[in-house]
Structure 1
Amino acid sequence: MAQDYYEVLGVARSATQEEIQQAYRKLARRHHPDVNKDPKAEERFKDVNEAYNVLADPDTRARYDRFGPDFRQIPEDYDERVAAGAGRGGGGWASSGGGVRFAQGPGGAYQDVDFEDLFGGLFGGRGGPRRTVPGADQEAEVELSVEEAYRGGRRGVSLAGPEGRRDYQVTIPRGVRDGQRIRLAGEGGRGSRDAPAGDLYLRVRIKPHERYRLDGRDIHVRLPVTPWEAALGATVPLPTPGGTAKVTVPPGSSSGRRLRLRGEGMPHPRGTDGDLYAEVRVMVPPHPTDRERELFEELSAASDFDPRRPG
């Protein structure tokens, strides 16, 4: 059974866009595979992303509210086709008889409706002449690394389907997000007779990364520093998806301090780029040399700093 996207995010059907975004951020942080080691967390994280990508877009949300979980199977020009068919008193677009789920009533419950029952009287009924049927839209997943999603560009995609394996050269938009769909026009199911083919939608899945954690368009990364860099301050290199950045570590930085690099997160083609947050992690030599041990002992004797002291 298809999941209700509002239930996935835990919001009401009347929720505002801000409430939807707040719910998404909370759940994405809770279920991100880098944070939650539960084996089911990654699948839950994918569900949350899918729900958000549908409900965060006003047009897509409106189609979902109207047609339910199968809204992608309804042609974009659905109303125009129905109007055209009604004007002719028959003919036009017909279906092969598959079911679709439409939203019903203020409660948002779904009801199965048969295309023939829905359109039979309008388009000539079950006994009427068969019409051309546009090809159905299809969907597949494409996995990308964080770096690939950041850079975008052309890449090959190979998909197995009913007609065998097909290869595509796909343009990945720079800054594409997890759950976002890439449309390949005319590459979906074939239509009957001379009807146009449907479209193929590639749903993006960004693979968990050992270094980077995504939160919307923000990128979180750990920044290892030495004790003396943390105490005295330093400018250190930091690998990012866009290349190596220089990060200024303020004097007296402890582990857990977050340094913000504005605009260094995931690109946004039509808005503000995300930020990159580098979390300081103070690292000590795992096998100190005799001289390093001597210096640490001198520091221990000379310093009265006690991190466990209250206040």
Structure 2
Amino acid sequence: MQYKDYYKIMELARDASQDEIKRAYRKLARKYHPDVSKEADAEAKFKELGEAYEVLKDPEKRAAYNQLGENWKSGQDFRPPPNWDEGFEFKGGGFTGGDAGDFSDFFEQLFGGAEGFRSAGTGHRHHGEHLRGQDSHAKIHIDLEDSYHGATRNISLSAPEMNAQGQVQVKHRSLNVKIPKGIKPGQHIKLAEQGNPGLGNGQAGDLFLEIAFNTHPLYRVAESDVYLDLPVTPWEAALGAKIKVPTPEGHVDLKIPPNSRQGGKLRLAGRGLPTRTPGDFFVVLQVVLPPANTEQAKAVYQNMQQVLDFNPRLSMGG
């Protein structure tokens, strides 16, 4: 996937004001509009311009894009940094420049999965002569263990704001957030009146925190179930064994049945995420072969070859 330098596409400096962005778009849109332009690749350039304007005209998308930094070059192979959008507050202005499906993979990777970037914000609500503030959204990452036990975490949030020169700046704040036991990725924590301030004496909006899990060195999560890839020796898989296995709630003794196979799953019922209906904990067996790196080890393998007379490719006619 190629990096898109939206400032270069719009022939702008990174500190351009929002008015300068609008003027640049109008100028370049006239230049590259396919119905009137005589420029080579006018249609492609017009489409690329529309995508750049979709991001830079929106202070939230622009501030999020700016977080990627200035060291990328147009066309450079790009993968978003891990958790690049964590703690970034947005109201969600929706798309106004056409169908987002017409935009590049780069745009989709950054903004396509963010609920607030894809749908219109809540907006102000009338309460007499006052206006309720807009709700805001942010994604935060927690540890798997936080869901098992519950926790209180201090989180840092960032939100864009306009300065007097019409340039986008980022303000920061910190909040203590209670992580409820049993929360799953994709669920939200609602913090009442922690969104955008109201107008007049209007009530502040709410803040919705979308939960994601940090990558864990041992476990992976699917819905409420938790999976562990467990290395076992060939003799443990073949003969059976009793093995001490780590889980987020501590080690358990697990019985490996004889004649277990690579990829076999063993279920520990109810030991997944402690949701209202608890998930399960699955141990996925990974048979690891000892290396034949000594004469003694080679002799063991040669003896197995002679004694077992085993051909795993018989069903393939081999």
Tell me if both proteins adopt one fold, taking TM over 0.5 as the criterion: yes
Please give the residue correspondences for 1:271-310 in structure 2 after superposition, counting only pairs within 5 Å: 271-286=276-291, 288-310=293-315
Compared CA separation, residues 247 and 170, structure 1 to 2 (3 A): same
Residue equivalent to 1:193: 200
- Report how many residues are paired: 204
Deviation, structure 1 residue 156: 0.7
Residue equivalent to 1:239: 246
Q: Following the alignment from structure 1 to structure 2, what is the Cα–Cα distance between the partners of residues 291 and 279? A: 30
The one-letter code of the counterpart of 2:175 is Y
**Greater shift after overlay, 274-283 or 284-293?**
284-293
Compared CA separation, residues 50 and 256, structure 1 to 2 (3 A): farther
Residue equivalent to 1:73: 122
Residue equivalent to 1:54: none
Please give the residue correspondences for 1:47-86 in structure 2 after superposition, counting only pairs within 5 Å: 47=113, 69-70=119-120, 73=122
Q: Following the alignment from structure 1 to structure 2, what is the Cα–Cα distance between the partners of residues 43 and 180? A: 21
Q: Are 1:165 and 2:163 matched, yes or no?
A: no
CA contact (8 A) 1:190 1:196 kept: yes
Q: C-alpha offsets along residues 197-222 of structure 1, whole Å, 9 cap, x if unaligned?
A: 22111111223445333221112221
Residue equivalent to 2:134: 136
Deviation, structure 1 residue 149: 3.4
CA contact (8 A) 1:187 1:198 kept: yes
The one-letter code of the counterpart of 1:73 is T
SS at match of 2:246: strand
Unaligned ranges ≥5, structure 1:
2-32, 34-38, 52-67, 82-91, 94-130
Residue equivalent to 1:214: 221
Q: Following the alignment from structure 2 to structure 1, what is the Cα–Cα distance between the partners of residues 182 and 109? A: 22
Residue equivalent to 2:144: 146
Compared CA separation, residues 136 and 155, structure 1 to 2 (3 A): same
Q: Percent identity?
A: 35
Deviation, structure 1 residue 264: 1.5
Q: Following the alignment from structure 2 to structure 1, what is the Cα–Cα distance between the partners of residues 133 and 298? A: 72
TM-score normalised by length of structure 1: 0.56
Residue equivalent to 2:154: 156
SS at match of 1:243: coil
TM-score normalised by length of structure 2: 0.55
Q: Are 1:261 and 2:268 matched, yes or no?
A: yes
SS at match of 2:235: helix
Q: Following the alignment from structure 1 to structure 2, what is the Cα–Cα distance between the partners of residues 180 and 164? A: 25
The one of the two structures with greater contact order (alpha-carbon pairs below 8 A, sep at least 6) is: 2
Unaligned ranges ≥5, structure 2:
1-50, 52-81, 83-104, 162-169
The one-letter code of the counterpart of 1:219 is V
Q: Following the alignment from structure 2 to structure 1, what is the Cα–Cα distance between the partners of residues 287 and 196? A: 55
SS at match of 2:175: strand
Q: C-alpha offsets along residues 206-258 of structure 1, whole Å, 9 cap, x if unaligned?
A: 23445333221112221110011011101112223333232211111110111
SS at match of 1:187: coil
SS at match of 1:294: helix
Q: Following the alignment from structure 1 to structure 2, what is the Cα–Cα distance between the partners of residues 189 and 228? A: 61
Deviation, structure 1 residue 145: 3.2
Q: Following the alignment from structure 1 to structure 2, what is the Cα–Cα distance between the partners of residues 69 and 244? A: 44
Q: Following the alignment from structure 1 to structure 2, what is the Cα–Cα distance between the partners of residues 180 and 265? A: 16
Q: C-alpha offsets along residues 253-286 of structure 1, whole Å, 9 cap, x if unaligned?
A: 1101111111111110xx2111122111110123
CA RMSD after TM alignment: 3.4
Deviation, structure 1 residue 74: 5.8
Residue equivalent to 2:9: none
Q: C-alpha offsets along residues 69-105 of structure 1, whole Å, 9 cap, x if unaligned?
A: 43x6168xx7xx7xxxxxxxxxx44xxxxxxxxxxxx
The one-letter code of the counterpart of 2:268 is L
Q: Following the alignment from structure 2 to structure 1, what is the Cα–Cα distance between the partners of residues 244 and 176? A: 35
CA contact (8 A) 1:150 1:174 kept: yes
SS at match of 1:189: coil
